[in-house]
Structure 1
Amino acid sequence: MVPYTKFHVAKPSSILKPFHQSFQIILHITSQNYLKEVHQRIEVVPKKKKQENSVIPAVEPDIVVTDDPQSSEIVHPENLQEEEEICNANASISTPPPWSCTEIHNLQKPINWVNGNTLEVTRKMIVHIDPETEQINKLITFSDHQPPIIKLRGVLFTSDIAPKINSAAAAQTLLEKFDKIKLCSGTGYKNKKFSNACQLAVKKGKRCQDCTKLHDRLRKIGYRQEKVEKRKKEKQEKKIKLKRKIQSLTRSRLNLIAKLPYLEFFFPLKVKKYKRKVEHLIRQCQAKDETVIAEAISKLPAAQQEAVKACFAASKRKGPSGKRYTAEWIYECMLMRIKDKKLYNHIRRHEILVLPATCTINGYLKHYGGAYGFQPQVLEMLKKKTADMPAKSRRGMILIDEMKLTKGVHFDASTMQVQGFKDLGEEAEEALGDDFRDTVEEAIESLPIDPKAKTRIQRRQHAQLKTKNEKDRNLGDHALVISFQPFRGKWVQAIACFLTRGNATDSELTKFILEAIILLEQSGLLVDGVVTDGASGNRTMWTKFGVSKENCSAIHPCNPHRKLYFISDFPHLMKCMRNCLCTKKIIQTPKGDVQLGHWEAVLEADKLHKIGLREAHKLTNDHLHPDPWQKMNVAMAWQFWSASVGAAMESYRFQGFEKLSDCDASKEMCLLINSLADAMNSNRPQTSLRLDSTNFKAIQKFLEYFTSLKEWADKKLNKKLQEAEKARVDHLNAQGKNPRGKVVKYQENFIFSDSTDIGLIVSLKNTLELVQFLIKKCGFVFVMTARLNQDALERFFGLVRQSCGGNTHPEPRVFAQLFRLLSIYSLVKPCRGSNITGGEMVKTLFNLEDLKEKNKKERQKLLSDKLDEIIIKGQNLEEITDLMEVVQKDHDYIGDGEAVDQFALSYVTGFVARHSKRYTAGCEECTTCLKKEEKDKTDVDTLITTKSKGYLTYPSDALVELTHTLEKNILKTAVNSELEENILFLVLEGLENSKVKTIGCEEHKHELTKSIMKFYLIMRMHFLTRKWNENTKKD
């Protein structure tokens, strides 16, 4: 029996016609047992194709139902009676109503399912229409007597979900199950939608395995076809473009050929027309007066005027060289070069503006000497700069501070000296003249100090230019800078710098300040005070001027009717007060103890709010327990004494924190210092000091508070000292010892340190007195107290460190160069209220004679004379016995382990020979005397041969002998003498008794030998200083 196949029942014969109705009834009986019996007696015959392979059962069926409608009937007469009996028995049984396919119209159909029409009454179909393609993709045919026939896309679908239907519920279930079947979407290509072996239905994904494989193959084939088609299309397009281009060129050629007679006739006429027009414009430009262009340029800003003029001037030059610049434009270019070298080179390289070459700018900058000490050029420029300034703009303070440097030496070939030693500006002082020294001596005599202290200060006053034997051989490691800062205006001028070993002494500071005040007053500026930090040397310097807690000011050295006010840098005082409290932990006051624990309690209370808002959000543990480098942080000191910390103490005490129950004294000091900080750091007119202003009263209030606190502390301290002295004397008397001697210093937590206390009292008193003096007698309306601290000098040091990259402690040579560049910027730039222009300042700067240039010429002449003397004297000495006895030695020992390496000397001498060709003045004989042929080389030339690639020079024996003499004396001087400023002249002294081999022809040998000796000596001095710096860094 083959189920789920389209069956055809054989037509009954005439004998079986009476039983045909009974057979139809039997087919519709729903009883399971009876159906089994009927099926046992009916044999189904499949289609012919499958009948050949089918196995015929041993029992012949009563009725044969065949798949072929043309098949013949097979009748068994012997069983007719039995069938009749069965039919009669079934007729007597009550059967349920039979299933009819017409009932499918009443089924609940899912979406997109509709009824289909058939010609047969006993068959009904339901189809599913795809909403996208509007085609039938699912079909179910229901029959009254056969199982439903299911087709997917017209292909018969075999499955176990299609049993024989015997009720409407079974048909509904079949329809729902069949609706859930997911169809294969195919390959996605129109030419081949499905695989021949497509599985029709899929469980996962959208394609079956066979269609997926076919899809991948078609995709690869399509990609290749598209690529080929694309190439064909591109090739075709190229052919079309080329064809069109050829056609266009052909048309253009034909047009040109047609226009050729016209062009040959009219083109010369047009050329003549435009030539006449150009000549006419030239005549018009020549007729125009330059004043018209000048008037047009005058409407531009001053800086742009100079740029336009420079562009017009450069346009007249045919080449890039030979340009001429005005002094004003040179001034602007110098400022741009000082501010940013990379930007200057970028503007010049891309020709955005007409700028001089960097070497030209450096030539102008070198004209301004960078030596240590007071430079006459700076003073002369200041005098010209402040000539037309009002008195209010010329009043200001002197700022003085030091910066740590790295020890280092270098050889200056222009002065023939080793730089880097302690330099207090003696040479510059000599250039200022005797009148200046007399004025300074009078100012020293007027100081209220003992004669011994005056003698120590005057010791430098009478010092002359030191010789090489008296020169201080101490290497400088600190730079002392003196600047002038006015009360009005944004300009600050660096006056001088000094190179010292360690911190400058109090005597040196006193001398520098007196000299600076006198020189600035002579230049037209009015110095009303001095600002320093809290270093011990500065406090001692105050006492030399007679400054104390009772007498806070000194008599002005230039005018006995004026006062000189001394003020300590207030940000430095803020750091000192914070550090003292962090060290002592407790400071006793009449109202209670100021404890560091109160700040710790605020920090502890704030830490309870890990993510939430905090009342003193800037306070951290680093503020209370700073590291050594954090102790000098001004911002942390400001935040330590901030008003928010004082308010947080009061707030947390109100909230019930026990550790803050006695914080009244701490809160009061914190708020008073915060108000004082605002008053002493005002940099705006709105917050500046005026008479009876809030900030003015805040300073008075703190001064009263601190004075009373200091008096109370002194009384308590005296009482403690008396008790300690009495206990000490009683103890010594009890032991029978002499109680004489000094009392051991008694330390108690009263106020801050002595230096901080004196600095606060003197600074606050002088600030109030200076403000009253400036407002009442000098016509000031207000005074910004930010001009009474050292912030400008600290910014100057910051620029120096920034210019040095990662090196925060530059060498003395680098510092001197940077000081020159940064000081010339503010020096050349005219300030507000000045009638002089920048160009005039540059002219003044360039016209002044530089002391350093004068010194250079003198030293160069001294070296030249010394070499002449050595060469002349060396020629008169007896000749050495044999050159090769000296040259062929592997080493010539000098002593102390030093020796002349002949191989290295020969190699360096080859470099000297190549370099010395420029000194021969084109003389072939002199050039021949410098070198030798490779075939004449000796054993000492082995290093040259090893390192040579065919371009090194083999020096002559005479040149090797000369350099050997020089090298031997250099090593001897370096071993037996310490490195000092004039070490080159010490080497020359050793050469006075040495045989000097001359090089060159009779006419040029003297000058050539002198040039070679000078070059070699300068080169070796550079090597010596470099080696000394390397050894110092290692140590």
Structure 2
Amino acid sequence: MVRGIKKKFKQPIMYTFCKGATNQYKIICQLKKVIETVHLTGLRVVATISDQGTANVGAINILNNETRLYHVKNNSEYLDEFYEVELHDKQRLKLVHIYDVPHLMKCIRNNLLTKNLSYTIDNKTKYAKWSHLEDLYKMDSAVPDCKMLPRLTDQHIFFSQRVSSTMNFLASLNIIGTDAADTAFICLFFDKLFDSLNGSFDKVTDGKIYRTAVKKNSIHHTVWAESLKVLSTMSFVLENGRKKSVPTIQNWMTTIRSFQTLSKVLDLNGIRSFLPRHLNQDPLECFFGAIRSIGSKNPNCHAFDSAYKTLVLNNLVSTHSPGSSCEEDFTEGSLSSFKNFFESAIASTSDFENQIVISADLPPTLHNLSMTTSFVRGQAQNYIAGFIVKKLNKTFFKNCQTCLTQLCTEKVSEHHSLITAREYQSNHPTLKYPTSTLCSIVQQIISFVGEKMSNVCLHPNIHSTLTNALNQQLIFPFELNCSEHKDLFRLNIIQFTVKMMIQHYCTEVNRILLGKRKLQDNETDPVKKLAYTWYLKHSKTRKTQGKFNLI
């Protein structure tokens, strides 16, 4: 498949069938033929992308050796950052090779499951361990009605700034092991590195300064140079202390150097900026996902051929394959201007109006939490309070300084410890720091919803039921001084918080039903218990609960 770096297009151009894996010599032959043919169309190939398959790595090594041998024979300068392919007119085309960045991340994660990751910072050897991620997840799962890391599940653990900052926060208080700070560093390290190689925005979005376009003097070059130093000290270590050779780390370094070289090549050719996300295998993954969606998940040769033609004629149908292990590739279609031959009418579905009233009432949920869990719960709820202010500011307050001054404080206290830890840049705070009074209000709403959800979730109009009950029972200790917003503030904050907590509750129950989250040992919510019982009864594949099934 050909993918545009500057223009948003993708074009499938070739496929072959083979029995077993294609060997490296056939890959080289096919690669040279494709590059030469594409070059004849007027497109210029500057990079190739693949995963870390043994045959792929072997093919690139052979091409590198061929290039070096050619320059030795001809007594010419050899640059090891390129490999070269000879075209039909005897011209030699210089190319860089990039290993698919999302697959590199998955390989780091999978190796960390069974090994410790050793690295050196300031002449000190440190170790990142999977057990630290397990401890963090268990601590977060113990909080009943809200989560510090709501995106984590039994089957979905990832490296991110949020995971890193939360782990650092808990390690600093000795809630989890203090050596977890070493793992937190690795989470942040790979989060920055991944963002710098996977940017899809021209400007900074959500505080992610590295997830932007690469330019001549952008911050990416600093991150890449620093990352190479750290990666050069990394190695995976088995439990017995013996080092295990893993090609992933070397391939990370190869990919970074290829990006450094490619940015210089593009700049020389007049391309002043490019989005790194255009340089991965997501378009190909989406295309294969679309082929599987047309027929069977494991198509035979005839089915694959038919699906391939259908997708090309229908301009690839979609840019994303739902449920696949890749992100949307942001292309506008294939390079060829094929029109759809068939028009599919999407029938509009009307909402089901006849709601079924369930007469069963389950008891409310009561929690008996330890002091540590209560502390973590309070910090998470305070962070949510700041998040609510930030969201309401966009839709309700509209940057009203009178309201924001009364709801937020510039004096950071111990109540804001998690918020402070979550800042992307400590010298440039972007999060909201709610007052203790607002934190107390939000905590009351969250606790009320968490207690009552099991009692009302089987009835219609859950949101209005909880909102009306809170509106009657909740006592607000203050009124806004702003005449424009004070009358509607109470209702807005209750409605927004209730909606958010209902969504979180439903997500948690659905994860239990799907087997993505195990039931906590001290779980008291009757709905979650019923959901877990249903999962155990209807699950087709019996899984050992509590394991991190990530490979």
TM-score (norm 1): 0.27
Q: Corresponding residue for 1:697?
A: 222
Quick check: which has more Rg, 1 or 2?
1
- Identical amino acids, percent of aligned pairs: 22
Which residue among 7, 23, 38 is the counterpart of 1:505?
A: 23
**Residue range with higher mean Cα deviation, 559-568 or 679-688:** 559-568
SS at match of 1:564: strand
Is 1:580–1:753's contact at 8 Å kept on the other side of the alignment? no
1:558-601 Cα deviation digits (max 9, x unpaired): 37564211110000001000000002145454431111121122
**How far off its partner does 1:542 sit?**
1.2
1:596 aligns with 2:88: no
Q: Which amino acid aligns with 2:287?
A: F
Q: Equivalent of 1:492, from 10, 16, 27?
A: 10
SS at match of 2:274: coil
Structure 1 gaps of 5+ residues are: 1-482, 624-635, 721-745, 843-1035
Q: Go from structure 1 to structure 2 and tell me whether the alpha carbon gap of 1:690 and 1:597 turns closer, same or farther (over 3 Å shift).
A: same
Who is 1:679 aligned against?
A: 196
Other-structure match for 1:539: 57
Q: For 2:285 and 2:140, locate their aligned partners in 1 and report how far apart those are by CA, in whole Å.
A: 34
Report SS of the residue matched to 1:671.
helix
* Cα distance, 1:556–1:812 mapped onto 2, change above 3 Å: same
What corresponds to 2:41 in structure 1? Answer: 523
The alpha-carbon distance between structure 1 residues 795 and 838, as it changes in their structure 2 partners (threshold 3 A), is closer
Report what 1:765 is aligned to: 257
Contact 1:643 1:674 in 2 (8 A): yes
How far apart, in 2, do the equivalents of 1:682 and 1:505 lie? Answer: 33
1:789 corresponds to:
280
Q: Distance in 2 between matches of 1:703 and 1:814?
A: 44
SS in 1 for 2:254: helix
- Does residue 817 of structure 1 match 2:312? no
Equivalent residues in 2 for 1:573-972, closer than 5 Å? 573-585=104-116, 587=118, 589=120, 590-612=124-146, 614-623=147-156, 636=157, 640-657=158-175, 659-686=176-203, 687-707=212-232, 709-710=233-234, 750=243, 753-775=245-267, 777-804=268-295, 807-826=296-315
Q: Is the 8 A contact 1:678 1:695 kept in 2?
A: no
Pairing 1:294-443 to 2, within 5 Å after superposition: none
Post-superposition offset of 1:701: 2.0
Separation of aligned partners in 2, 1:697 and 1:749: 33
Does the 8 Å CA contact 2:160/2:191 hold for their aligned counterparts?
A: yes
- TM alignment of 1:566-577, pairs within 5 A: 566-577=97-108
Cα deviation, residue 665, structure 1: 2.3
Structure 2 residue identity aligned to 1:490: K
CA contact (8 A) 2:10 2:335 kept: no
Distance in structure 1 (CA, Å) of the matches to 2:335 and 2:213:
28
* Deviation digits for residues 92-150 of structure 1 (CA, Å, limit 9, x no counterpart): xxxxxxxxxxxxxxxxxxxxxxxxxxxxxxxxxxxxxxxxxxxxxxxxxxxxxxxxxxx
State the distance in 2 between where 1:615 and 1:515 align: 52
Deviation readout 1:224-280 (Å, 9 max, x if unpaired): xxxxxxxxxxxxxxxxxxxxxxxxxxxxxxxxxxxxxxxxxxxxxxxxxxxxxxxxx
Work out whether residues 313 and 338 of structure 2, in 8 Å CA contact, stay in contact via their aligned partners in 1.
no
State the secondary structure of the residue aligned to 1:621: coil
2: CA distance, partners of 1:668 / 1:801: 39
- Give the deviation of 1:670 after TM superposition: 1.0
More helix by share: 1
Q: Which amino acid aligns with 1:761?
A: M
1:747–1:552 CA distance, 2 compared to 1 (3 A): farther
Q: 1:682–1:786: 8 Å Cα contact kept in structure 2?
A: yes
What SS does the corresponding residue of 2:222 show, helix, strand or coil?
helix
CA positional deviation for 1:680: 1.1
Aligned to 2:82: 553
Q: Partners of 2:290 and 2:336 in 1: how far apart?
A: 27
TM norm structure 2: 0.50
Q: Deviations over 1:167-191 (max 9, x none)?
A: xxxxxxxxxxxxxxxxxxxxxxxxx
Amino acid at match of 2:178: S
Alpha-carbon distance between aligned partners in 2 of 1:667 and 1:536, rounded to the nearest angstrom: 31
Change in CA separation of 1:560 and 1:662 when aligned onto 2, cut-off 3 Å: farther
Equivalent pair of 1:649/1:667 in contact (CA under 8 Å): yes
State the shift of 1:748 in Å: 5.2
Separation of aligned partners in 1, 2:139 and 2:106: 25
Structure 1 position 524, deviation (Å) = 1.6
Taking a change above 3 Å as real, the CA distance of residues 597 and 836 of structure 1, as seen in their structure-2 partners, is closer
Q: Distance in 2 between matches of 1:567 and 1:605?
A: 38
SS at 1:526 equivalent? coil
Residue aligning to 1:132: none
Partners in 1 of 2:335 and 2:57 — Cα distance?
40
In structure 2, C-alpha distance between the alignment counterparts of 1:607 and 1:552, rounded to whole Å? 46
Distance 1:799 1:506 in 2: 27
